[in-house]
Amino acid sequence: MASPEGAAAAKVKLRPRKKKKSKKESKTRSVYANILGEEDDNNPNRHYADNKIKTTKYTVLSFLPKNLFEQFHRFANVYFVFIALLNFVPVVNAFQPELALAPVVFILSVTAIKDLWEDYRRHRSDKEINHMDCLVYSRTERRYVEKFWKEVHVGDFIRLRCNEILPADVLLLSSSDPDRLCHIETATLDGETNLKQRQVVRSFFDLDCDFDPSKYNSVIECEKPNNDLNRFRGYIIHRSGRRDALYKDNLLLRGCTIRNTEEAVGIVIYAGHETKAMLNNNGPRYKRSKLERQMNVDVFWCVIILLVMCSFAAVGHGLWMFQYGDKRPVFDVLSPEGTDLSPVLSAIYLFLTMIIVFQVLIPISLFVSIEIVKICQVYFIHQDAELYDEESDSHLQCRALNITEDLGQMQYIFSDKTGTLTDNKMVFRRCTVAGVEYSHDANARRLAMYQEMDSEEEECPSRGGTLPRRDSVGSHHSVKVVLRSHSTKSHRRTGSRAEAKRASILSKHTAFSSPMEKDITPDPQLMDKVNECGSQMDFMRFHSQPMSQLPSDLGDIMDFFIALTLCNTVVVSSPDQPRHKVRMRFELKSPVKTIEDFIKRFTPSRLTSGSNSSSSSSLATNRSSTKGCSSTLSSPSAESVNADGGAEHPNAAATCQPSSANHIAVFLPVPFCRACFQGNSKGKRQKKIIYRTQNYLNQYAADGLRTLCIAKKVLSKEEYACWLQRHLEAETAIQGREELLFESALRLETNLQLLGATGIEDRLQDGVPETIDALRKAGLQIWVLTGDKQETAVNIAYACKLLDPEEEILTLNADSMEACSLLLEESLHYIQAKFLCGSAKAFHADFAPFHIYPSSPPPPPHWSSSHAAVHRLGLVIDGRTLAYALDRSLEDKFLAVARSCRSVLCCRSTPLQKSMVVKLVRNKLKVMTLAIGDGANDVSMIQVADVGVGISGQEGMQAVMASDFALPRFRNLQKLLLVHGHWCYSRLANMILYFFYKNAMFVALIFWYQFYCGFSGSAMIDQWYLIFFNLMFSAFPQLITGTLDKDVSAQTLQQLPQLYINGQNSEEYKPYMFWMNMIDAFYQSLVCFFIPYFAYADSDVDLFTWGTPVTTIAVFTILLHLGVETKTWTWMNWLSICFSVALFFTVALCYNASCPTCYSPSNPYWTMQRLLQDPTFYLLCLITPAAALLPRYFYRACQGTIFPSPVQVGRQLDRLPAKDPHGNILSLSGIQTGARPDPERKSSVAKDPRRPREESQRPDASLSVRIDLPAEGGVKYTKNSQERLSVG
């Protein structure tokens, strides 16, 4: 269900009433039950917002003033209204005042209608939401009655049934679930479709009978409404005085859907606009694109030109007046009072008049046109079939409507790794237990089969091998081992592609992501061990022997699997429950049984979810302790599934209390850290295990696998009780709970016994290396910022061609600021020494066009700094070093190093560091940055970058929600940037330039005329044409061209990524181009003015009979100018131009025939009709546009031949027969390098200069600068915590 609130994105306003609340309530909110019997006006909850939402901006009365007020925030609107109002002043007016208002009113009303419509939609959706039903406990009727959502108040008891949507933020007090759980789906909040568990408040946990609201008499103290979805703190005070802590796990958020739970009862804590969902509803973001910033500069120049022209005319008028002296000419008109106006005064009046007359120079329709064009561009990007991902049935979403052209100007890409470059489908590959590696070769083979599956459309044969074996395992156990995995089976692929697709779509709604993740072929060796283990246990159980007698290696395997099992979320549900989502059904009857199941369960768990899990919420511990942890190893039939939060929290600890021993085992999946284990490594065996496991871990990392260690710790009951006590304290703390929990986790995570480790593969997405290669050819710098381990990250970087094996790698690992500084210095020197000596010249010849500052002029030949060039170097830096490097004192050095490198890889970086890196590059290098990521840890980076791209992948929607564009796959970035970005940029840039030209050209006509009318502000162009010129006659073709024009075909753009450099260097719209266009505009207007001038000189032509041809010619010239600039002519271009011409003549004819006296002062009655009978008119219309456009056309024709821009070359390529485009490209680039004289242009399209020209130029030895300082315990923990913060 789509979020109703989401659709009604609007500013949330808290009721002003709230402010009246007394001071003591300012920190927390107390919620009493409404049934306590307080009268309405005495109800303690009466100050809180009710559940009625109103997201509309306007009411019927306030619409007009409010909307106008908002619109006048835009400076341009104020300007145009000011000019229109100026027309009402008789001394300075130039047009009919009412007419002058027309365009402004038109623009304003278009916007107002749009706003009104949006607001109406919001109103309708509000109404719909407000009138949804829910069950509220009624005090008078002593039962639950149906009420509208809007009638729900804070303190009400609400009964929720399965699949109902929550009307407000509700504290869960009762659930029909035997475990006192309530499952909710939060898709409307964060897009995640996996179910989340919520718990009944602990004090109501043991309630046997149904919850009775009339007996409730506690008070809830909680924090004020805030927008943090992942936080809720408070406590509940019972009449007995007992306090119980409240967590976010007790809170059901508005907008979520109840799943898998028959019934739940809760009390409303926050309602209406104070709910977290509503507080999270921010309006769309407004970003201003680079092009628009540039445009604003030129708008400013237009204002200057306007003022200069007006001043010129004013001075001219003053002088003109002055020359007559006291003798007033007959045609001079005295002021209305009959007195003479002094030349100075009339000059001042004239200045204002001229501003009105020349107002067209600041194009009123420019902003509107740009918005229309951008919306159309967004539509086309949206519609692109190539940006559609069938697997996930998602396509590109443009969330920011006004920065499409920025896509064409990107210079730096900051990418997340997990889920962005990789699939984020965790596929189990191998594991090591107690120092023995189980390589799972069969599984690897099976995975390989999967990859071929789609092409071959054949069933994977290895599955045949897995099933019987699985059965054999099952039959081996005496306990009833039933794997009721029929939903798994239903997912199983039968080979057909359609079914695979369906399965993958289906899997979106279930716990698993793909069949690849679910089907595991166990390693035979491990299988044997497990079977042995099972039989041993059967034996022992039979003989009532304690578990501890298990051989140590088997024991380790046992513990290993128990840990994996416990530390993961298992949701149990059954298909016969009505309207439930189909879920994998899964019951764990025995720890041994879990051996196989864990693998299945284990793989999909998001071990590396980037969520900030430093709290390492030991909920599992918690729960197991409160439940008394009934799972024992000696009684395998008991339910042992009590692990929670494993999916969200990689560090979640699970404890298990063997009843037969006085010890509690704590199982922990932990990132490998020697310190955690060292204390316990007294035993030789354990040392060996640690040693071996570390070796394997390194090997896994080298293979690009993600690693996770499994460890256990045995605590005595006293130790456990002591720890639990402090942990509970930490949990109930309202202030600093996170830190306390973290400390609590640290206390536990010492002296662990290492059990083993797993290696999970996160495969690269399709086409990632190709995309990276293309983007790099396009001149984009790609930095990868990941929370992953350095080894893993480097491996993935190699796999996706980010790093080249032939490339040198600078690795920066430092433990202190000084070391980092030293390291950076060294690297800088190294770079300078390496790349400046000897081959300096060669390098600079090659790399000259690839400056870090693309806007800077090309360097002189004696350029001696290394800063400008990008070398064949890779930089790898880890999070800790990055933290030092990002320090204010070192950031410049860091940047100097980083920007000399071809690729930069930041490992172990926290979300904050990611955004800091982006910010640093963006602000210091003044480049356009794009951040792409898929997880919550990328959100800050996405928000900071100029363009944020979210991958709508596996990790929920936070990244997408924060992004400007959401892509299904990383691969789509190539087309988005290289094709759509390029198009959008070049279209808009050309359109804006054309706009400036068009208006300048039109206005200049009137300016020239001032020389012939005594600078009196008189216009030979009729006021109607003048005012509607922008709005009607020249509006459509440019919109069509701005939307549809393709300078180069999509195919060529993708084949020649180098063309993207065009946009990076802003080559379509450079500052000088504005002036070139202005000069051209003035030239053309001179032609359009003086050809009619001389043609009608010495004739009895009257003002408007002469002015109308000038207008007509100007319209023709302007339209044809667009024609010269249009690269592709579709029928829509033809149509729009014909339409514009037809519109002009129709309007002119109708206008000139409609009313003989209405249009004072011009009154152009029958002018156009008469002109159409005049041959001179036609002759003028032929010669003038030709003369006006000849230079531009000639320039374009010659430029295309003598010095074609890369884009023009690309366009030429489009026209080549498609038989061998690649060969053509090659031949073309060869020719270009030879033929073109300009070295700067040469290399931008031709060969990619960064590709090594000569192998011998590159140094053969690989460099690795590395400082590994000895680790200390404390530091390790920091590292550890960092891992928690930023894994993935």
- Min separation Cβ 196 and another protein, Å: 28
Instruction: Compute the distance between CA of residue 1096 and CA of residue 1094 in angstroms, rounded to an integer.
Output: 5
Instruction: Compute the distance between CA of residue 663 and CA of residue 717 in angstroms, rounded to an integer.
Output: 6
Task: Find the catalytic residue in 249, 416, 934, 1022.
Answer: 416
1235 binds another protein (CB under 8 A): yes
Instruction: Compute the distance between CA of residue 901 and CA of residue 871 in angstroms, rounded to an integer.
Output: 5
Token code pair at residue 879: 């999070």
Considering only residues 1120 through 1139, tell me which ones interact with another protein, judged by CB under 8 A.
1123, 1126-1132
For another protein, the closer CB: 624 or 1208? 1208
Q: What x-and-dash track marks residues 980-1009 binding another protein by CB under 8 A?
A: ---x--------------------------
Order of strands, edge to edge, in the sheet holding 219-223? 28-31, 219-223, 234-237, 243-246
For another protein, the closer CB: 1098 or 1254? 1098
- Min separation Cβ 143 and another protein, Å: 47
Angle between the N-to-C axes of helices 75-86 and 97-130, in degrees from 0 to 180, rounded to the nearest 10: 140
- Min separation Cβ 1059 and another protein, Å: 16
Instruction: Compute the distance between CA of residue 990 and CA of residue 866 in angstroms, rounded to an integer.
Output: 35
Which residue in 85, 334, 1142, 1269 binds another protein (CB under 8 A)?
Answer: 334
Instruction: Compute the distance between CA of residue 396 and CA of residue 411 in angstroms, rounded to an integer.
Output: 21
Which residue in 59, 217, 335, 1278 binds another protein (CB under 8 A)?
Answer: 335
Backbone angles phi, psi at 265, to 5 degrees: -125, 140
193 binds another protein (CB under 8 A): no
For another protein, the closer CB: 716 or 1201? 1201
- Min separation Cβ 508 and another protein, Å: 14
Q: How many residues bind another protein, per CB under 8 A? A: 105
Q: Which stretch binds another protein (CB under 8 A): 267-275, 469-477, 778-786, 1100-1108?
A: 1100-1108
The half-sphere exposure of 276 on its side-chain side, counting CA atoms within 13 A, is 26
For another protein, the closer CB: 1046 or 1250? 1046
Of residues 1079, 1080, 1059, the one with CA closest to residue 1068: 1059
Instruction: Compute the distance between CA of residue 877 and CA of residue 885 in angstroms, rounded to an integer.
Output: 9
Which residue in 854, 935, 1014, 1288 binds another protein (CB under 8 A)?
Answer: 1014
1093 binds another protein (CB under 8 A): yes
Instruction: Compute the distance between CA of residue 125 and CA of residue 1135 in angstroms, rounded to an integer.
Output: 40
- Min separation Cβ 814 and another protein, Å: 38
> Which residues are within 8 A (CB) of 1024 and not within 5 positions of it... i.e. 6 or more apart?
99, 1147, 1151, 1159, 1162
Which residue in 1097, 1172, 1269, 1271 binds another protein (CB under 8 A)?
Answer: 1097
Helix (H, G, I), strand (E, B) or coil at 908: coil
For another protein, the closer CB: 98 or 1174? 1174
Which residue in 22, 26, 455, 494 binds another protein (CB under 8 A)?
Answer: 455
Considering only residues 65 through 84, tell me which ones interact with another protein, judged by CB under 8 A.
none
Strand pairing class (169-175; 251-252): antiparallel
Q: What is the DSSP string of 1235-1267?
A: H---HHHHHHHSS-TTS-S-GGGS-SS------
1109, 1102 in Cβ contact below 8 A? no
990, 1125 in Cβ contact below 8 A? yes
What is the H or E stretch that residue 1028 is in? helix 1023-1028
Q: What x-and-dash track marks residues 359-398 binding another protein by CB under 8 A?
A: ---------------------x-xxxxxxx-xx-x-x---
Q: How many Cβ atoms sit within 10 Å of the Cβ of residue 1230?
A: 12
Q: Among all chains, which residue has been given the structure tokens 């590159």?
A: 1258
- Min separation Cβ 335 and another protein, Å: 7
Considering only residues 256 through 295, tell me which ones interact with another protein, judged by CB under 8 A.
none
Which residue in 76, 1044, 1122, 1168 binds another protein (CB under 8 A)?
Answer: 1044
Backbone angles phi, psi at 183, to 5 degrees: -95, 135
For another protein, the closer CB: 296 or 383? 383
Which residue in 16, 90, 578, 628 binds another protein (CB under 8 A)?
Answer: 90
For another protein, the closer CB: 336 or 805? 336
Strand pairing class (929-933; 412-415): parallel
For another protein, the closer CB: 333 or 1218? 333
Instruction: Compute the distance between CA of residue 744 and CA of residue 749 in angstroms, rounded to an integer.
Output: 9
For another protein, the closer CB: 904 or 1044? 1044
1140, 1034 in Cβ contact below 8 A? yes
Of residues 596, 621, 584, the one with CA closest to residue 745: 621
Considering only residues 435 through 454, tell me which ones interact with another protein, judged by CB under 8 A.
451, 454
Is 597 catalytic? The answer is: no
- Min separation Cβ 1113 and another protein, Å: 13
Which residue in 39, 1100, 1255, 1268 binds another protein (CB under 8 A)?
Answer: 1100
Considering only residues 395 through 424, tell me which ones interact with another protein, judged by CB under 8 A.
395
Instruction: Compute the distance between CA of residue 445 and CA of residue 671 in angstroms, rounded to an integer.
Output: 27
Which residue in 102, 733, 1141, 1216 binds another protein (CB under 8 A)?
Answer: 1216
- Min separation Cβ 448 and another protein, Å: 10
Backbone angles phi, psi at 1132, to 5 degrees: -70, -35
Which residue in 2, 61, 333, 1218 binds another protein (CB under 8 A)?
Answer: 333
User: What is the torsional sign of CA 657, 662, 666, 667?
Assistant: negative
Q: Which stretch binds another protein (CB under 8 A): 249-257, 268-276, 935-943, 1214-1222?
A: 1214-1222
Q: What is the DSSP-derived secondary structure letter of residue 215?
A: G
- What spatial distance separates the first Cα and last Cα of the chain, rounded to whole Å? 30
For another protein, the closer CB: 18 or 1127? 1127
The full length of the chain comes to 1288
Considering only residues 1161 through 1200, tell me which ones interact with another protein, judged by CB under 8 A.
1161, 1163, 1165-1166, 1170, 1174-1176, 1179-1180, 1182-1183, 1186-1187, 1190, 1193-1194, 1196-1198, 1200
Residues facing 810 on adjacent strands? 875
Considering only residues 488 through 517, tell me which ones interact with another protein, judged by CB under 8 A.
none
Which residue in 37, 329, 468, 805 binds another protein (CB under 8 A)?
Answer: 329
Considering only residues 139 through 168, tell me which ones interact with another protein, judged by CB under 8 A.
none
Residues facing 169 on adjacent strands? 270
710, 556 in Cβ contact below 8 A? no
Which residue in 617, 821, 1016, 1282 binds another protein (CB under 8 A)?
Answer: 1016
What is the H or E stretch that residue 116 is in? helix 97-130
Q: In angstroms, how far is CA 940 from the centroid of its own chain? A: 10
- Min separation Cβ 80 and another protein, Å: 22
Helix (H, G, I), strand (E, B) or coil at 1219: coil
- Min separation Cβ 1241 and another protein, Å: 14
Q: Which stretch binds another protein (CB under 8 A): 476-484, 760-768, 774-782, 949-957?
A: 760-768
Which residue in 696, 1106, 1144, 1151 binds another protein (CB under 8 A)?
Answer: 1106
Q: Among all chains, which residue has been given the structure tokens 């049935």?
A: 393
For another protein, the closer CB: 35 or 516? 516
Considering only residues 761 through 780, tell me which ones interact with another protein, judged by CB under 8 A.
763, 766-767
- Min separation Cβ 1205 and another protein, Å: 12
For another protein, the closer CB: 1138 or 1271? 1138
For another protein, the closer CB: 603 or 1108? 1108
Residues marked active site are found at 416
